[in-house]
Amino acid sequence: MGTANTFRTDLYSIHNYIQNTCITHPKEIFIEALRNFFADGSYYHYVKDEWGFPNTPDLTGVNLEAGIEDDVTTRLFIGESYRHDVIYYPAILVRSGGMRFVPISFNNNRDVVQNEVTRFVDGYGNERFVTMPSYIFNAGAWEGTINIDVEARDHRSRDELSEILGLFFSDTRRWELSNAGVFIKGASIGSPSEVDDRIDKLFKVTVTCDIRTEWHRHTPISGVIDAISICADLGNLQVQPAAIAPNMRINYHVDLLDVLVDTS
């Protein structure tokens, strides 16, 4: 499982956090996955403009069938909120419903040491694998909800979109989202409603996804090694068991400080 999410702040790198899938990443991955999904549709067809936003041009005098067989306009809005003063229906609005910390163990896997295996081969072809500590691993989990509001001018579009979203989160894209670091524990479709909107009606419903994500912290320790000791026994390796010669052993000790002084 990976997230590939990036951070604009350096506080994560200062404290050795390599992943914090909490609010920003789940929301953005939901929006992008929904846009890619509806871009393949015909009637509920999503089209983005040259900047990557929903293509919502001025529709004055435009054919009512625009967007079905062409990319003149998007036929639904998908995003976190409307851009500027543009309001476009039907709309799918993705918002975070909050997160709470959940420990994955009593101590968040505190002080679990991850090792790195290095392969060494000498000039005689002898091979040896050396295991050295690489970093200390800590991790925890977040659990919360993502709310997807569906708004439409007619109840049929509202109901159809909510049904599509139910399948989207429960089956169609569930494992792809899991591979992106957002595990969907469950999805539910709320009770439909309608409100007065100027001289018209606005039909609404909320699809709620219960999600689980994680944070990871890798504290490097590979640079804290101050010495390497090498010990070799001499003897006849052609017989089994090997005959080790007594009182014949080579011990070699390398200090990291000596290496730094020699290479400076």
Of 45-54, 108-117, 151-160, 174-183, the range with the lowest mean pLDDT is 108-117
Position with higher pLDDT, 54 vs 126:
54
Q: What is the pTM of this model?
A: 0.74
Residue-level pLDDT at 1 = 44
The domain segmentation of the chain, as residue ranges, is 11-103+139-220, 226-264
Residue-level pLDDT at 251 = 65
DSSP letter string, the chain:
-------SSSHHHHTTEEEE-SSHHHHHHHHHHHHHHHTT-SSS---B-TTSSB-----TT--TTTTTSSSSS-SSEEESS-STT---SSEEEEEEEEEEEE-SSTTTTTTEEEEEEEEEE-TT--EEEEEEEEEEEEEEEEEEEEEEEEEESSHHHHHHHHHHHHHIIIIITHHHHHHTT-EEEEEEE---EEEEETTEEEEEEEEEEEEEEEEEEEEE-GGG--EEEEEEEEEE-SSSS-EEEEEEEEEEEEEHHHHHHHH-
Residue-level pLDDT at 260 = 45
Q: What is the mean pLDDT of the chain?
A: 83
Residue-level pLDDT at 101 = 94
- At residue 263 the predicted structure's pLDDT band, cuts being 50, 70 and 90, is very low
The pLDDT of 27-36, averaged and rounded, is: 94
Say how far apart CA 114 and CA 96 lie, in whole Å. Answer: 34
Residue-level pLDDT at 149 = 95
